Chains A and B, each alone.
Chain A
Amino acid sequence: MLKYFISILLIISSLKAISQEGKSLDTIPIKTTYGIKFGIDLSKQIRMLTEPDYKGLVFTGDYRILDRLFLAAEFGSEEKKTSNEVLDFDTDGTFLKLGVNYNIYNNQKGLNNEIYVGFRYGLGKFSHKLNSYTIYNLDQYWNQNFVNNSSSFTDLNASWLEFVLGFKAEIINNIFMGLDLRLNRLISQDKPTNFSNLYIPGFNKVLEENNFGVGVSYSVYYQIPIFKKDKK
């Protein structure tokens, strides 16, 4: 994961450098664009290349309402197989996240880059299909510890909060690239009977000892400019 992370980071920073060179000409009108951005979270596609048992598609967007404040939303679906020595199950589901981003970066004249902090409220609907499991039994006398009958846990819901830290850079006019990191905290979940939500689409892997999770997204956006406003 970190390997991709670093390479993406390098690509983005180089792109940003190029874009800044192009814009370093002294443009006089200090106006800033208010618009709506639509994007796709490409980190899911990258993950699909590295993890064969994962499928994900996530759309993302934001809308600038104040100089530094953006309304942000994401929705998508994920399918993931989890298998370890003792469990093998498939999870699939859809999710919606709503929240805000606050830009803490002081842009140079005419630039629209962002370094932002934000939060999201996430809602997910999902189901698990348990394919097989192993019974924890130190006694191997009967050797009947592998269970291969599948069971389904459907119509499960969860909600969570995400703290977001990220940046977006305008690489060409109205095209943005962004990377962000998330720290998630589960608020509520439907516990399946005799199983557990070990993976929640949109939330990511669920730890049993605590309610925290982590995530990353790498998105490309197209901005539809709505109006320009003088910068204060």
Chain B
Amino acid sequence: MKKNIILFIASCLIISCEPDDICLTSIPDTPRLIICFFDESSGLKKEVNDLKIQGLENDKFYFYKTTDSISIPLKNLEKLTNYLFTKNFDENIGTNGNDDHILINYQYNHMFISRACGYVSNYDLNQIIIERDDLNWITKTEIINSEVIDEKTVHVKVFH
């Protein structure tokens, strides 16, 4: 009898100790690159009209809106992510507006989080290049925070 009681208690312990292997939403995921747009002469925040963001080699838009700041994802397995930033884009016409090709060069680090969440990616920005074309609307870029470890601060300023 005593044996049975002891075993019963012990078996309850065994089954109740299993944790939930769930990645909680309170844990931040891989950060995106935060870019803010500024006026090239005044240095104040300035919206970009009808901005379309699309990754090069990607069929889908990332988004399309008028805004003064964006957050965009970087590739986790390549050290270079290419985007086309198109200003004054009209989705009814299709190919139009002024598009600038932006190259983001960085180091990526995969950081272990937990059994349930796996890893997140952090980035160390090296360089941002605007490909020269006949009509660049972006005049200058500036990396103000090269460590992309969260989405709390602005990483890159873009002047136009």
- A residues with a Cβ closer than 8 A to B are 1-2, 5, 9, 84-87, 115, 133-139, 141-142, 144-145, 147, 165, 167, 179, 181, 183, 194-196, 198, 207-209, 212-214, 216
- Cβ-based interface call for B113 (8 A): yes
Contacts of A194 in B (CB 8 A): 110-112
Chain B minimum-CB-distance residue to A193:
B112
Known: A141-B58, A142-B58, A144-B75. A135 touches B15 (CB 8 A): no
Chain B minimum-CB-distance residue to A207:
B19
Beta-carbon contact of A135 and B14 below 8 Å = no
Contacts of B76 in A (CB 8 A): 135, 137, 142, 144-145, 147
Beta-carbon contact of B30 and A139 below 8 Å = yes
Contacts of A181 in B (CB 8 A): 7, 10-11, 13-14
- List of 7 A-B pairs having minimum Cβ-Cβ separation, nearest first: A86-B118, A137-B30, A181-B10, A139-B73, A144-B76, A136-B117, A144-B77
Chain A minimum-CB-distance residue to B71:
A139
- B residues with a Cβ closer than 8 A to A are 2-3, 6-7, 10-11, 13-15, 17, 19, 21, 23, 27, 29-30, 32, 55, 58, 60, 62, 73-78, 81, 110-121
Contacts of B15 in A (CB 8 A): 1-2
Chain A minimum-CB-distance residue to B81:
A142
Known: A136-B119, A196-B114. A214 touches B32 (CB 8 A): no
Contacts of B58 in A (CB 8 A): 141-142
Contacts of A136 in B (CB 8 A): 23, 27, 29-30, 113, 117-120
Contacts of A84 in B (CB 8 A): 21, 115-116
Determine the distance from Cα of A135 to Cα of B6 in the docked complex, in whole angstroms: 44
Nearest Cβ on chain A to B106's Cβ, whole angstroms: 13
Nearest Cβ on chain B to A1's Cβ, whole angstroms: 7
Determine the distance from Cα of A27 to Cα of B116 in the docked complex, in whole angstroms: 60
Contacts of B32 in A (CB 8 A): 139
Beta-carbon contact of A135 and B110 below 8 Å = yes
Determine the distance from Cα of A5 to Cα of B81 in the docked complex, in whole angstroms: 54
Determine the distance from Cα of A214 to Cα of B30 in the docked complex, in whole angstroms: 33
Chain A minimum-CB-distance residue to B72:
A141
Q: Which of B6, B23, B60 counts the most chain A CB atoms within 10 A?
A: B6
Residue from the list B2, B11, B110, B116 in contact with A2, Cβ < 8 A: B11
